[in-house]
Amino acid sequence: MSEDDDRSPPLDLRCGAAPSINRARNCSGEAVSGSGSSTSSSIPASVPVTVTEYQSQYPDQVLEIVLENVLQFLTSRRDRNAASLVCKSWWRAEALTRSELFIGNCYAVSPDRARGRFRRVRSVVLKGKPRFADFNLMPPDWGAHFGPWVCVLANAYPWLEKVYLKRMSITDDDLALLAESFSGFKELTLVCCEGFGTCGLAFIASKCRQLRVLDLIETEVTDDEVDWISLFPEGETCLESLIFDCVDCAINFEALEKLVARSPFLRKLRLNRHVSIRQLYRLMVRAPQLTHLGTGKYGPSEVAQRQGDTEPDYIAAFAACKSLVCLSGFREITPDYLSAIYPVCANLTSLNFSYATITADQLKPVICNCHKLQIFWALDSICDEGLQAVAATCKELRELRVFPMNAQEDVEGPVSEVGLQAISEGCRKLQSILYFCQRMTNAAVIAMSSNCLELEVFRLCIMGRHRPDHATGEPMDEGFGAIVRNCRKLTRLAVSGLLTDRAFGYIGKYGKLIRTLSVAFAGDSDMGLKYVLEGCPKLQKLEIRDSPFGDAALRSGLHHYYNMRFLWMSSCRLTRQGCQEIAQAMPRLVVEVIRSDDEEETDNYVETLYMYRSLEGPRHDAPKFVTILR
């Protein structure tokens, strides 16, 4: 690792560290490791050793070295957190060897503090806004700016390789700085972000010469009319993954085709809807080694149809992709063309039809071959019948998501308890489900709770608010109660339908592993929230809207709020005084009261409470509509 940089890279402890450390011990017995000072001449000359400010003064050098060598094998951040609490010397060793930094709430810790503790970070995960911001429950410009972070990262970690951002607000300038600051930058993943345009992408494409991954997932990207695709470096690229289906801008196809042709390592490619099916064909021919493919527009263009051009052999193109395991896209679909994917169905482990308005009859011929399918996303246009077909074939299914074609209340829905029941009977290995429907019964939910014992994520969204069991007219308490009681691995739960405090009693009593809970239009009284706050010791993320929980309930969580990442409560029964009490009782909690506009609240109640633990106190970038209570 010889960089033309006066700051040499740290010794890479992973490359056969143990033998070289032994060699590196000098005569005085002072150990030389990545954290110590270098004096020994037995160090291989080609490996520069960092002279850091840390000079170990503890006699037990062996322990330090062993620790650092062992710690490098700890990758889980939870394990590392635990290790760092043993004693100061473990804390130090862990801080020096942590290369993947995960920050679940960008306001919980400042960039400087993170930089101060962790010196050798290669990968950063940063999450910003709370999830309900996705549903317009939070005004724009609330915060979560990447700017302050990228400035610090640029100075602190010149060898940074990976950045993963979720729900952050990013500008073109931020991306420019990122692109310029890290010569070895490899992976950029942006999920549910916004604030930048194709300008920013242009910087990344042109300056990150080692780029392997550029994944944009459900991120808003404005069209700056910049041809970013053509700005990738000439010659062979390192690209392994290029996902831009959410970038709703026209693409220079010739440049894209050339890019794919000169990217021999490309495995994942997800196109946007501006790429036609004919263009898709050309790309597939160039890249038969793809494992993950997201099509663009999946149907013939009107022009082609009128001209009566001969169609390329799509079936052959799919057949040639022997490694294909994941298919998605299918925008603006012409269902006749689905038959082209038959050759790959038997190998598919992941199939995403959530943008394809297909019926059960159109789904069946495809799904009946997908025996290995583990992940299936679809629109409810497939109806209960389509779900029955899935249940009949996909015995390996781990994750199911059914999205609504028509996301309104009080309409007839095409999927119901029938589909859920079928899935529960057919897909016994199910781990994660997200199911939008208009009607449901306790019986079907109970059936799922006893059939699918591997469930970790259960998110049921009955779209009609306060809707009871469709068959019995009763609340949905028993169904959700059965889920928490029977599914012993459940960590994430989203409830809906008519629910009384009883349901929350069940959650508090049985949901001992639950980390994330979403509640909307549910419960009768403060008791509901109390049950949860007192009963769920692992609760980290609690998001509640439009439920009758008030100040007394809020108080009942005081013992637990420091263990949580955040609490969101909007349109509940919280008063400002109630929130103030919490702020005063818990100095390390940032208690934000968010209004929808600049006017003072006219109501007695706080519109939105968003509170989170933080080492930094109130943030300085809060907009006018946010009040931070002290």
Strands 213-217 and 432-437, by their bridges, are unpaired
Options 22-30, 254-262, 278-286, 540-548: segment touching another protein (CB under 8 A): 540-548
Q: Counting contacts by CB under 8 A, is residue 441 touching another protein?
A: no
Options 102-110, 423-431, 456-464, 576-584: segment touching another protein (CB under 8 A): 456-464
Pick 68 or 551: Cβ nearer another protein: 551
* Shortest spacing between CB 363 and another protein, in angstroms: 17
Pick 9 or 233: Cβ nearer another protein: 233
Instruction: Evaluate whether 589 touches 109 at the Cβ level (below 8 Å).
Output: no
Radius of gyration of the chain (CA): 27
Pick 246 or 532: Cβ nearer another protein: 246
Pick 350 or 352: Cβ nearer another protein: 352
How many residues line the site for another protein (CB under 8 A)? 70
Q: Which of 112, 313, 603, 621 binds another protein (CB under 8 A)?
A: 603
Q: Counting contacts by CB under 8 A, is residue 334 touching another protein?
A: no
Q: Quick one: 193 exposed, middle or buried, by C-beta within 10 A (0-12, 13-18, 19+)?
A: buried
Q: Counting contacts by CB under 8 A, is residue 371 touching another protein?
A: no
Alpha helix (H) residue ranges in 323-438: 342-345, 360-367, 383-393, 417-426
Q: Counting contacts by CB under 8 A, is residue 621 touching another protein?
A: no
* Shortest spacing between CB 379 and another protein, in angstroms: 8
Residues contacting 500, CB < 8 A, separation 6+? 475, 477, 523, 524, 528
Instruction: Evaluate whether 537 touches 511 at the Cβ level (below 8 Å).
Output: no
Tokens of 487: 């599914």
Q: Which of 119, 129, 573, 613 binds another protein (CB under 8 A)?
A: 573
* Shortest spacing between CB 408 and another protein, in angstroms: 6
Q: Which of 178, 202, 400, 446 binds another protein (CB under 8 A)?
A: 202
Residues contacting 318, CB < 8 A, separation 6+? 284, 324, 340, 341, 342, 343, 344
Q: Which of 64, 161, 478, 501 binds another protein (CB under 8 A)?
A: 501
- For 178, 209, 221, 230, 262, the CA distances from 183, given in Å and listed in that order, are 10, 8, 24, 20, 21
Pick 53 or 412: Cβ nearer another protein: 412
Q: Counting contacts by CB under 8 A, is residue 466 touching another protein?
A: yes
Scanning residues 115 to 174, which ones bind another protein (CB under 8 A)? 132, 134-141, 172
φ, ψ dihedrals at 354, nearest 5°: -75, 0
Tokens of 140: 């724009």
- Alpha-carbon distance of 117 to 121, in angstroms, equals 10
Pick 118 or 625: Cβ nearer another protein: 625
Q: Quick one: 76 exposed, middle or buried, by C-beta within 10 A (0-12, 13-18, 19+)?
A: exposed
Q: Which of 157, 244, 521, 561 binds another protein (CB under 8 A)?
A: 521
Q: Counting contacts by CB under 8 A, is residue 355 touching another protein?
A: yes
> What binding mask, one character per residue, do residues 373-412 give for another protein by CB under 8 A, x or -?
------x-----------------------xxxxxxxx--
* Shortest spacing between CB 202 and another protein, in angstroms: 5
- Alpha-carbon distance of 539 to 557, in angstroms, equals 11
Pick 138 or 165: Cβ nearer another protein: 138
* Shortest spacing between CB 43 and another protein, in angstroms: 40
- Alpha-carbon distance of 441 to 467, in angstroms, equals 10
- For 98, 549, 591, 613, the CA distances from 512, given in Å and listed in that order, are 30, 21, 26, 22
Q: Counting contacts by CB under 8 A, is residue 550 touching another protein?
A: yes
Pick 34 or 329: Cβ nearer another protein: 329
> What binding mask, one character per residue, do residues 280-309 give for another protein by CB under 8 A, x or -?
------------------------------
Q: Counting contacts by CB under 8 A, is residue 22 touching another protein?
A: no
- Alpha-carbon distance of 206 to 180, in angstroms, equals 10
Q: Quick one: 45 exposed, middle or buried, by C-beta within 10 A (0-12, 13-18, 19+)?
A: exposed
Q: Could you tell me which of 277, 234, 279 has the C-alpha nearest to residue 257?
A: 279
Q: Counting contacts by CB under 8 A, is residue 473 touching another protein?
A: yes
Q: Name residue, tokens 């060699």.
A: 23
Q: Which residues make up the interface to another protein (CB under 8 A)?
A: 132, 134-141, 172, 194-195, 197, 199, 202-203, 206, 218, 220, 222, 224-226, 231, 246, 273, 331, 354-355, 357, 379, 403-410, 436, 461, 463-466, 468, 473, 475, 498, 500-502, 520-521, 524-525, 527, 545-546, 548, 550, 570-571, 573, 596-597, 603-605, 607
